[in-house]
Chains A and B, each alone.
Chain A
Amino acid sequence: MLSDDQVNEIIIEVESVPSETQSLPSLNQIFLRKSLAKPTFSTVSSVTDIDSVDCQIFRHGIDRRHNQLLRFSSLNESIYPIHRSPGCLSMDTCYPSQETIQGQRLIASLLPMTSRDRIKTIRNQPRTMEEKRKLRKIVDKEKSKQSHGILGATGCAQCLNSLSLAYRRSKSSLSELFNSVSLWQKTLKAIGGKFGTSVLSYFSFLRWLLRFNIFSFVVIFSFIVIPQFTVAEKNTLQFTGLEFLSGAGYFGDTVMYYGFYTNTTIQHGTGASYNMQLAYIFTFGACLVTCFFSLLFSMAKYFRNNFINPHIYSRGITKLVFCWDFTVTHEKAVKLKQKNLSTEIRENLSEILLENARLTFHQQLTRFSAHVAAWLVSTGVAAACSAGVYFLAEYNSEFLKTHRNPGAVLLLPFVVSLINLVVPRFYSMFSLVEKYEMPRHEVYILLIRNILLKISIVGILCYYWLNIVALSGEECWETLIGQDIYRLLLMDFVFSLADSLLGEFLRRLIGMKFITSLGLQEFDIARNVLELIYAQTLTWLGIFFCPLLPFIQMITLFIMFYVKNISLMMNFQPPSKAWRASQMITVFIFLLFFPSFMGVLCTLAITIWRLKPSADCGPFRGLPSFIQSIYSWIDTLSKRSGYLWVVWIYQNLIGSVHFFFILTLIVLIITYLYWQITEGRKIMIRLLHEQIINEGKDKMFLIEKLNKLQDMEKRTNPNAFILETREVEEQNPLHLVEHDASPDLRFRRSVQEVNPRAC
């Protein structure tokens, strides 16, 4: 933290510098330190210009991998020979040894690292690429010189080195290939250029969901649909165009639904046999498990990156000034962004100025009652909608029995989609009545209300399907559920299309022509992402009953991307407020995982363990429960001697309670340990922060003291003072001499000239 050369001089002149911190005694040193119980952080001090010997130390963040404090002083001189500054004679005589020492120390610190860490560290150095390349060459040379002594290990080590190098090269070329064929790269760039990072996050999320669906579809298609095609029976029903909407009729007897799949063991000739039941369960299990782990890891990655130090909340204004969105490249967008930024800064300023204004009790009461009323109304509406959907669903089945209109099945999906369209906008209108202290809270509360609505509707529908439809004794209830979900998804898609194409277009017309004060609308990211999550939840729910659903969702997402893109370009303006994109993305992925995916898993678990499959359709026909297929498979395996290990695993690991108990215990213990470590680090950060403040105060105090001393000296002996300062300049190795020759030299003035300098 002693990065000021003033302090350096003070150290030399005034000896009592309290340095309780982990600061350097001198700036230009590198040293390795092993951390003890303290949290580790690696600081890198770097020199930015050739002849300036000032260092900048920056904190690297808590380094999890190495338990070492590494500080590098990366002087350019250590790599370049000092021939670029011809006039720098005194420098050469004074400092070359020090610089080469530092360069050697840098290299020495790099040598013991593994090559992966070394590359990472070199990459992190703030130098140009040429310098990094030279540094790497030197380090490699040194390393090869060292390793020549160890004969036995060289063969193996070289082999390993070349292997790892080949692996890295292939990984980078693969990722380059992947990036070049990455879908919609140019479109995303254009969107980001015009609308900024926050709107871009919606489209990236859409693309991410598309990957899930593509993966699921590929797996399901190859393991279930293709084998089924080989033993497909002829479809005797008639095809009318209405099937696309209703999903019933002709489609009811195709690979689209559960009911079509055979429960036999497919065998072609004398080849291998393929047990359809097991294939069905295992394929879906594998799909869901992969999705689970993928979601878990993405969530963990986003949490780690975006929730650092949540307790140190950064006020708006610094972030506004320094986090300019460099991805915006469209000229009009940049101008608009600048205008919006000024507005926001003004708002922020006025907020800060009015911060101390406290509300009267009366105002607080009105606000509180407004909140309570709003919550009551929103919960009431959600409950009413769910009840309505439930009764409609019940009535619908009776209604369908009496009326044979094929379009009547669409009534329930229509109502559900209508609710999903209208009620969120109704919730947004609450903002006219409710006032929040922070606009952030408004967004979160709106999000929570919408989530509650969607969860309650999906929950009610699941309850209806599992408890009423499944137990109703219908012929092929799984297919019925599959058809219901298909219709819901389709209706949702149609409504979104209509909303994007017509609704937003209308809104633009109104905003531009009729009520010009409204202006263009802004892209409501939260609402759109929730719609995506809702659709994905339905897909995951329906995957068991309608195996082709990922394919349909794929097509839907594909079309939605283009429609939303076109609508965005035509009807929207860039967002006016700075939106915390990365935190919101974390929240969305968390939402995708937690209520959505876990809910789906629970529903499927109930289906598989509790429900009775229908008697004459599907791969599990006739069994008392879906899981019975696994039980009988284990039974058959236990009779064969070669597969007893599978039976053992099943009985002792999956089937037994003890194993899960122990696993849970271990996970809880690890979580508790990590939590304690985090708490300890938080305390450490706070202490270090206070230390920085104290150091600043020390610095000020010492500067004042030095000034006073110098003033006193000046008064007593004006001539001697000038000589002394010159001596100080020459003695002090951290001082620089002025040069006019080289244009990129920076120069430091002596202490007496620092004081009058303003900055």
Chain B
Amino acid sequence: MRLFYRYQDLAPQLVPLDYTSCPDVKVPYELIGTMPELKDNPFRQRIAQVFSQDGDGHMTLDNFLDMFSVMSEMAPRDLKAYYAFKIYDFNDDNYICAWDLEQTVTRLTRGELSAEEVSLVCEKVLDEADSDHDGRLSLEDFQSMILRSPDFLSTFHIRI
């Protein structure tokens, strides 16, 4: 219920209080991006895109609930790993290739690293994590790497 009120607060004129008729209401990405939990997150656009219905960032109530349930403390690790993979996969080809990595690193460091450093980082990441050596990370590579870092569960978590 709390989540529903948060959703409603984002766009009070759009979202009706009465959801029994299941209206087809979508809150646009711009309003979702202003939520205090997401406002400063460097990946907020990708998060909204991944969880939204059409991949464009506009979310219905179901998408909203999905997002926070996956990002909550109770979601199972594999589900989180799966969605994390989708978030980091910028071009949506189900692989994290070097370009995706570059995008991730740039957003993480906000332009502090130079271009060669960024490409060096991507190279090293692929070296470490790419176990079948095809030049990109598949979901299994990502998952096995995530399994090795127990902090992932606690960091991939948005409190609401």
B83 within 8 A of A: yes
Q: Enumerate chain B residues within 8 angstroms of A46, measured Cβ to Cβ.
A: 82
A441 within 8 A of B: no
B40 and A700 contact, CB distance less than 8 A: no
Complex Cα gap A557–B159 (Å) = 24
Q: Report how many residues on chain B are interfacial, defined by Cβ distance under 8 Å.
A: 77
Interface centre among A60, A313, A329 (most CB of B within 10 A): A329
A349 and B117 contact, CB distance less than 8 A: yes
A589-605 interface bits toward B, Cβ cutoff 8 Å, 1 = contact, 0 = none: 00000000000000000
Within 8 A of A (CB), among B28-74: 36-37, 39-43, 53-56, 62-63, 65-66, 69, 71
Known interface pairs A128-B66, A581-B154; A352-B124 also in contact (CB < 8 Å): yes
A759 and B159 contact, CB distance less than 8 A: no
A129 within 8 A of B: yes
Q: Enumerate chain A residues within 8 angstroms of B62, measured Cβ to Cβ.
A: 128-130
B84 and A322 contact, CB distance less than 8 A: yes
Complex Cα gap A197–B155 (Å) = 7
Q: Enumerate chain A residues within 8 angstroms of B136, measured Cβ to Cβ.
A: 759
Known interface pairs A48-B86, A309-B147; A323-B125 also in contact (CB < 8 Å): no
B78 and A759 contact, CB distance less than 8 A: no
Neighbour of A321 across the interface among B98, B104, B132, CB < 8 A: B104
B81 and A58 contact, CB distance less than 8 A: yes
A129 and B69 contact, CB distance less than 8 A: yes
Neighbour of B109 across the interface among A314, A342, A692, CB < 8 A: A342
Within 8 A of B (CB), among A291-347: 305-309, 312-315, 317-319, 321-331, 334-335, 338-339, 341-342, 345-346
B76 and A123 contact, CB distance less than 8 A: yes
Residue of chain B at shortest CB distance from A200: B154
Complex Cα gap A698–B103 (Å) = 30
Complex Cα gap A68–B34 (Å) = 45
Complex Cα gap A61–B97 (Å) = 24
Neighbour of A759 across the interface among B88, B91, B117, CB < 8 A: B91
A314 and B145 contact, CB distance less than 8 A: yes
B132 and A743 contact, CB distance less than 8 A: no
B95-119 interface bits toward A, Cβ cutoff 8 Å, 1 = contact, 0 = none: 1011111001100111011000100
A57 within 8 A of B: yes
B155 and A329 contact, CB distance less than 8 A: no
B26 within 8 A of A: no
B residues at A contact (CB < 8 Å):
36-37, 39-43, 53-56, 62-63, 65-66, 69, 71, 76-79, 81-84, 86, 88, 91-95, 97-101, 104-105, 108-110, 112-113, 117, 120-121, 124-125, 128-129, 131-134, 136, 138-140, 142-159
Complex Cα gap A334–B42 (Å) = 9
A1 and B113 contact, CB distance less than 8 A: no
A129 and B65 contact, CB distance less than 8 A: yes
B152 and A323 contact, CB distance less than 8 A: yes
Q: Enumerate chain B residues within 8 angstroms of A689, measured Cβ to Cβ.
A: 131, 144
Q: Enumerate chain A residues within 8 angstroms of B99, measured Cβ to Cβ.
A: 758-759
Neighbour of B140 across the interface among A192, A327, A335, A692, CB < 8 A: A692
Q: Enumerate chain A residues within 8 angstroms of B159, measured Cβ to Cβ.
A: 189, 192-193, 327
Known interface pairs A318-B129, A324-B42; A128-B63 also in contact (CB < 8 Å): yes
Neighbour of B41 across the interface among A48, A312, A329, A341, CB < 8 A: A329
Known interface pairs A58-B139, A129-B69, A317-B121; A325-B42 also in contact (CB < 8 Å): no
B108 to chain A, nearest CB (A): 6
Neighbour of A56 across the interface among B77, B94, B105, B146, CB < 8 A: B94
Neighbour of A322 across the interface among B88, B117, B132, B134, CB < 8 A: B88
B155 and A696 contact, CB distance less than 8 A: no
A338 and B109 contact, CB distance less than 8 A: yes
A143 within 8 A of B: no
Q: Enumerate chain A residues within 8 angstroms of B56, measured Cβ to Cβ.
A: 743
B29 to chain A, nearest CB (A): 15
Known interface pairs A197-B151, A321-B121, A700-B133; A61-B77 also in contact (CB < 8 Å): yes
B134 and A699 contact, CB distance less than 8 A: yes
B139 and A3 contact, CB distance less than 8 A: yes
B84 and A759 contact, CB distance less than 8 A: no
A559 to chain B, nearest CB (A): 25
Q: Enumerate chain A residues within 8 angstroms of B63, measured Cβ to Cβ.
A: 128
Complex A-B, nearest 5 residue pairs according to Cβ-Cβ distance, in ascending order: A696-B132, A759-B97, A342-B112, A306-B150, A314-B148
Neighbour of B151 across the interface among A1, A56, A334, A580, CB < 8 A: A580
B117 to chain A, nearest CB (A): 7
Known interface pairs A329-B40, A689-B131; A314-B98 also in contact (CB < 8 Å): no
Q: Enumerate chain A residues within 8 angstroms of B140, measured Cβ to Cβ.
A: 1, 3, 57-59, 692
Complex Cα gap A59–B37 (Å) = 31
Q: Enumerate chain B residues within 8 angstroms of A331, measured Cβ to Cβ.
A: 39-40
Known interface pairs A317-B121, A327-B155, A696-B131; A129-B109 also in contact (CB < 8 Å): no
A308 and B117 contact, CB distance less than 8 A: no
B97 to chain A, nearest CB (A): 4
Complex Cα gap A546–B94 (Å) = 63
Q: Enumerate chain A residues within 8 angstroms of B81, measured Cβ to Cβ.
A: 58
B155 and A326 contact, CB distance less than 8 A: yes
A117 within 8 A of B: no
A153 to chain B, nearest CB (A): 31
Q: Enumerate chain B residues within 8 angstroms of A193, measured Cβ to Cβ.
A: 159
Chosen A-B contacts, 27 in total, with CB atoms closer than 8 Å, are A3-B140, A46-B82, A48-B86, A58-B140, A60-B78, A61-B147, A123-B76, A124-B78, A124-B79, A126-B82, A192-B159, A318-B125, A321-B105, A322-B149, A323-B149, A324-B155, A326-B71, A326-B158, A328-B40, A331-B40, A338-B42, A580-B151, A581-B151, A692-B131, A693-B133, A746-B93, A759-B93
